[in-house]
């Protein structure tokens, strides 16, 4: 069966973010089954899922309750439009639930099909807002190098990872990029506090250069995810927010990864980073990946202009066929119910620091230059030289090597260039963490040997 599936796959399925020069030779792991913290391939090999699918299966795999909630909604009323004056029960229920979980001033929800579309909508709503209040020249969005905000045209432009836009055009006139906040690779000899001043100063200068009257919003992931799990220096978030407020620049916080428990709270903006964003975007953990769903949570003051009669009426001409899809919303409601019933955020507050400490014990390995992140959003950076931070050559495929060694030992983690990302389902406990760290310990030892053997 594996061969038949692979034949169909390679002939007809275009995989996202895939290197086709190796894809056709190497074949694929066909993941066919899942249960709790495990996934299995079609040959019956079972692996610990160290990446929650792709930062998303937060409540773990195989939750029959979510399947049942979806089936019940699909057979009762699978789909009907939410345009104009139509709605459905799960969309209304989920909106009220999200408003109750979000920071107090974010009470209005716009549904999308995932994270990219949530960020696209956020930009459209920001532009719409400034057009409606008579400031149409406020257009620029400030993003950051190495940010990941998605892959639709606007979201790809907001994305500052250069290799992501290789050979694609972007909407450059709309976006200006600041430096990422990368404490590990900050200029040599600069303290973390001075680095923070430097980054905030760069934003200040950019505002002067572009003119506050031309800037609509600043978008940031509270911890950069795909760009390398970059944790900003102390004070960075609130100081960047203060500059936004002083200059009438709206703040969009992309919580596609950091919301729904990964950092120990349903939303991390306010509780972890002291932020009061105008818009929070989310996806992934919102439905634990059981069904595609994203959302933009909008502040009361934006909503005054977008959605109330005081906003002078007029059609808000944006949305998707599947905005507020009843089956997706039913899945998300059940997902949140499970998270609350099983106190999964509290589990992360307890177990998250343990994962951080245990992963840091791997620092003694020759290639492990940095272990960073927060709670269940972690990353190991592989280097050639720990003193200088010099990287191994690309041909060494160090991130891939570590991931391959781990997989042979029954653990899936994510390689991104020279990095390895670990973003587990929120149901890991201390015993599983010990097991995972033992697997990684053996994997890094094997990689050190194999790199030596191959002359790196």
Residue 180 binds to ligand PLP (criterion: CB under 6 A) = no
Q: Does 116 bind ligand PLP (CB under 6 A)?
A: yes
Structure tokens at 9: 């796959």
Q: Do the Cβ atoms of 118 and 296 come closer than 8 Å? A: yes
Which of the residues 134 through 153 are near ligand PLP (CB under 6 A)? 148-150
397-411 as b/e: b if 16+ CB within 10 A: bbbbbbbbbbbebeb
Is residue 132 packed enough to be buried (19+ CB in 10 Å), middle (13-18) or exposed (0-12)?
middle
- Residue 99 CA to residue 295 CA, distance in Å, equals 12
Contact between 225 and ligand PLP by CB under 6 A: the answer reads yes
Asked if residue 328 binds ligand PLP (CB under 6 A), the reply is no
Please choose, out of 33-41, 205-213, 219-227, 360-368, the segment that lies near ligand PLP by the rule CB under 6 A: 219-227
- Measured from the CB atom, the residue of 56 and 355 that comes closer to ligand PLP is 56
Q: In angstroms, what is the minimal distance from the CB of 166 to ligand PLP?
A: 18
Two tokens, residue 321 = 């066929």
Least distance to ligand PLP, CB of residue 159, Å: 8
Helix axes 64-77, 326-341, angle to 10 degrees: 150
Q: Minimum distance between the CB of residue 116 and ligand PLP, rounded to whole angstroms?
A: 3
Q: Which is nearer to ligand PLP, 55 or 130 (CB)?
A: 55
Cβ neighbors of 434 (< 8 A, separation 6 or more) are 358
How far, in Å, CA of 197 to CA of 365, rounded? 33
Half-sphere exposure at residue 185, Cβ-oriented, CA atoms within 13 angstroms: 14
Least distance (Å) from ligand PLP to the CB of residue 60? 19
DSSP notation for 346-400: HHHHHHHHHHHHHHHGGGGSTTEEEEEEETTEEEEEE-S-TTT-PPPPGGG-HHH
Q: Taking CB under 6 A as the rule, does residue 115 contact ligand PLP? A: yes
In the complex with ligand PLP, the residue whose CB is nearer, 120 or 405, is 120
Q: Among residues 228 and 352, whose Cβ is nearest to ligand PLP?
A: 228
- Cα of first residue to Cα of last residue in the chain, in angstroms, is 39
114 binds ligand PLP (CB under 6 A): yes
Nearer to ligand PLP, 122 or 302 (CB): 122
- Pick the binder of ligand PLP from 142, 199, 230, 256 (CB under 6 A): 256
Judge whether 285 and 262 are in contact, CB under 8 Å. Answer: yes
| Residue 67 Cα distances to 63, 221, 310, 454, angstroms | 7, 30, 41, 47
The Cα 403–Cα 246 span in angstroms is: 45
Q: Which one of 251, 257, 336, 422 is in contact with ligand PLP (CB under 6 A)?
A: 257
Q: By CB under 6 A, which span of 23-31, 68-76, 110-118, 446-454 interacts with ligand PLP?
A: 110-118
- Residues in the chain, overall count: 456
Binding window for ligand PLP (CB under 6 A); candidates: 38-46, 113-121, 229-237, 362-370? 113-121
Positions in 266-295 near ligand PLP (CB under 6 A): 283
**CA–CA gap between residue 109 and residue 123 (Å, rounded):** 15
Q: Which residue is nearest to ligand PLP (CB)?
A: 115
321 or 388, CB closer to ligand PLP? Answer: 321
Nearer to ligand PLP, 222 or 352 (CB): 222
By beta-carbon proximity to ligand PLP, the closer residue of 116 and 420 is 116
Q: Choose between 177 and 444: whose C-beta lies nearer to ligand PLP.
A: 177
Residues engaged in binding ligand PLP (CB under 6 A): 114-116, 119, 148-150, 221, 225-226, 254, 256-257, 283
């Amino acid at each position: 069966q594996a061969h038949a599936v692979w034949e169909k796959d390679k002939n007809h399925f275009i995989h996202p973010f895939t290197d086709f020069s190796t894809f056709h030779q190497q074949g694929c792991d066909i993941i066919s089954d899942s249960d709790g913290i495990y996934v299995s391939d079609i040959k019956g090999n079972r692996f610990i899922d160290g990446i929650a699918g792709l930062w998303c299966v937060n409540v773990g795999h195989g939750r029959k309750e979510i399947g049942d909630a979806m089936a019940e909604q699909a057979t009762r009323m699978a789909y009907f439009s939410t345009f104009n004056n139509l709605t459905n029960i799960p969309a209304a229920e989920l909106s009220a639930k999200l408003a109750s979980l979000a920071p107090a001033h974010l009470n209005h929800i716009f549904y999308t099909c995932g994270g990219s579309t949530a960020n696209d909508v956020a930009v459209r709503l920001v532009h719409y807002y400034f057009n409606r209040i008579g400031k149409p020249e406020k257009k620029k969005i400030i993003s950051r190098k190495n940010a990941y905000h998605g892959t639709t045209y606007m979201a790809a432009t907001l994305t500052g990872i250069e290799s992501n836009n290789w050979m694609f055009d972007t909407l450059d006139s709309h976006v200006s990029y600041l430096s990422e906040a990368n404490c590990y690779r900050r200029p040599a000899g600069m303290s973390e506090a001075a680095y923070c001043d430097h980054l905030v100063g760069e934003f200040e200068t950019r505002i002067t250069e572009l003119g506050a009257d031309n800037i609509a919003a600043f978008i940031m992931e509270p911890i950069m995810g795909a760009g390398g799990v970059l944790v900003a220096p102390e004070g960075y978030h609130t100081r960047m927010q203060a500059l936004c407020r002083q200059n009438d620049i709206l703040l969009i916080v992309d919580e596609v990864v950091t919301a729904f428990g990964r950092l120990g709270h349903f939303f991390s903006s306010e509780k972890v980073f002291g932020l009061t964003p105008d818009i929070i975007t989310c996806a992934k953990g919102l439905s634990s990946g059981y069904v595609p769903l994203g959302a933009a949570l909008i502040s009361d003051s934006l909503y005054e202009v977008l959605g109330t009669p005081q906003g002078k009426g007029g059609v808000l001409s944006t949305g998707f066929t599947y905005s507020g899809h009843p089956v997706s919303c039913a899945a998300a409601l059940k997902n949140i119910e499970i998270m609350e019933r099983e106190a999964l955020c509290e589990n992360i507050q307890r177990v998250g620091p343990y994962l951080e400490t245990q992963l840091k014990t791997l620092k003694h390995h020759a290639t492990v230059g940095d272990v960073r992140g927060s709670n269940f959003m972690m990353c190991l950076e592989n280097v050639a030289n720990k003193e200088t931070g010099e990287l191994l050559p690309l041909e060494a495929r160090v991130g891939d090597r570590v991931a391959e060694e781990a997989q042979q030992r029954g653990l899936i983690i994510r390689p991104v260039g020279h990095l390895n990302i670990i973003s587990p389902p929120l149901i890991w406990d201390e015993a599983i963490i010990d097991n995972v760290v033992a697997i990684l310990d053996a994997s890094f030892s094997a990689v050190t040997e194999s790199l030596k053997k191959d002359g790196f």
